[in-house]
A and B are shown apart, each in its own frame.
Chain A
Amino acid sequence: MNIPRVLNRKNRILLKELTKTDFKLRYQGSVLGYLWALLRPLMMFAILYIVFAKLLKIGNDIPHYSVYLLCGITMWSFFTECTSQGIQAIVNRGDLLRKISFPKYIVVVSATLTAVINMLINVVVIIIFAFINGVDFSLSWLLAIPAIFELYILSLGIAFLLGSINVKYRDVTSIWDVLMQALFYAVPIIYPLSLVAETSVKAAKIILLNPIAQAIQDIRYNFITHETITAWNYITSPVVVVPIILTILTLIAGSMVFRKRSKFFAEEV
Chain B
Amino acid sequence: MKREIGTRTELHSEDENAIVVKNLHKSFRLPTEQAFGLKQAFFNRLKGIKGYKDQNVLQGLDFTIKKGEFVGIIGRNGSGKSTLLKILAGIYYPEKGEITVNGTLVPFIELGVGFNPDLTGRENVYLNGALLGFSNEEMDAMYDDIWEFAELRDFQDQKLKNYSSGMQVRLAFSIAIRARGDILLLDEVLAVGDAAFQEKCNNYFSSLHKKKQTVVLVTHSMTDVRKYCDRAILIENGKIIQNGDPKTVAKAYLNLLS
CB pair A263 B5 closer than 8 Å: yes
CB pair A16 B91 closer than 8 Å: no
Alpha-carbon distance A17/B86, docked complex (angstroms): 24
A98's nearest neighbour on chain B, judged by CB, is B91
Neighbour of B107 across the interface among A14, A16, A21, A100, CB < 8 A: A100
Known: A99-B91, A100-B91, A100-B107. A9 touches B114 (CB 8 A): no
CB pair B114 A264 closer than 8 Å: no
CB pair B90 A24 closer than 8 Å: no
With a CB–CB cut-off of 8 A, which chain B residues contact A9? 135
With a CB–CB cut-off of 8 A, which chain B residues contact A238? none
CB pair B123 A24 closer than 8 Å: yes
Q: Which of B34-42, B60-68, B196-204 lines the interface with chain A?
A: B34-42
Q: Please classify the interface of chain B as helix (H, G, I), strand (E, B), loop, or mixed, using the class held by over half of its residues.
A: loop
Alpha-carbon distance A21/B124, docked complex (angstroms): 9
Within B158-204, the residues touching A (CB, 8 Å) are none
Instruction: Indicate whether A4 reaches chain B with its CB closer than 8 angstroms.
Output: no
Neighbour of B133 across the interface among A10, A98, A263, A267, CB < 8 A: A10
With a CB–CB cut-off of 8 A, which chain A residues contact B126? 17
Known: A13-B134, A13-B135, A96-B131. A267 touches B92 (CB 8 A): yes
With a CB–CB cut-off of 8 A, which chain A residues contact B41? 169
> What is the count of residue pairs linking A and B with beta-carbon distances less than 8 angstroms?
71
Neighbour of A170 across the interface among B37, B86, B91, B119, CB < 8 A: B37
Within B49-95, the residues touching A (CB, 8 Å) are 86, 89-93
Neighbour of A101 across the interface among B28, B91, B136, CB < 8 A: B91
Instruction: Indicate whether A171 reaches chain B with its CB closer than 8 angstroms.
Output: yes
With a CB–CB cut-off of 8 A, which chain A residues contact B107? 100-101
CB pair B91 A14 closer than 8 Å: no
CB pair A169 B89 closer than 8 Å: no
Q: How many residues of B contact A (CB 8 A)?
A: 31
Q: Interface digits, B104-135 against A, CB 8 Å rule (1 contact, 0 not)? A: 00010110011010110001001100110111
Alpha-carbon distance A10/B38, docked complex (angstroms): 37
CB pair A25 B119 closer than 8 Å: yes
Alpha-carbon distance A263/B3, docked complex (angstroms): 11
CB pair B131 A21 closer than 8 Å: no
A266's nearest neighbour on chain B, judged by CB, is B91
Within A1-56, the residues touching B (CB, 8 Å) are 9-10, 13-14, 16-18, 21, 24-25, 28-29
A264 to chain B, nearest CB (A): 7
B109 to chain A, nearest CB (A): 5
CB pair A21 B119 closer than 8 Å: yes
Instruction: Indicate whether A168 reaches chain B with its CB closer than 8 angstroms.
Output: yes
CB pair A13 B5 closer than 8 Å: no
B130's nearest neighbour on chain A, judged by CB, is A17
The residue in A16, A100, A267 that gathers the most chain B C-beta atoms within 10 A of its C-beta is A100
Within A164-178, the residues touching B (CB, 8 Å) are 168-171
A265 to chain B, nearest CB (A): 10
B124's nearest neighbour on chain A, judged by CB, is A21
B106 to chain A, nearest CB (A): 10
A173 to chain B, nearest CB (A): 12
Known: A24-B119, A24-B123, A264-B93. A95 touches B130 (CB 8 A): no
Neighbour of A21 across the interface among B28, B93, B127, B136, CB < 8 A: B127
Alpha-carbon distance A219/B41, docked complex (angstroms): 42
Alpha-carbon distance A101/B8, docked complex (angstroms): 13
With a CB–CB cut-off of 8 A, which chain B residues contact A99? 91, 109-110, 113
With a CB–CB cut-off of 8 A, which chain B residues contact A13? 130, 133-136
With a CB–CB cut-off of 8 A, which chain B residues contact A29? 118
Neighbour of A169 across the interface among B38, B92, B134, CB < 8 A: B38
9 pairs from A and B in contact (CB 8 Å cutoff): A13-B133, A14-B131, A14-B133, A17-B130, A21-B127, A25-B116, A99-B113, A100-B113, A169-B38
Interface residues of B (CB under 8 A from A): 3, 5, 28, 36-39, 41, 86, 89-93, 107, 109-110, 113-114, 116, 118-119, 123, 126-127, 130-131, 133-136
For the complex of A and B, the 3 pairs showing the least CB-CB separation, nearest first, are: A17-B130, A101-B90, A10-B133
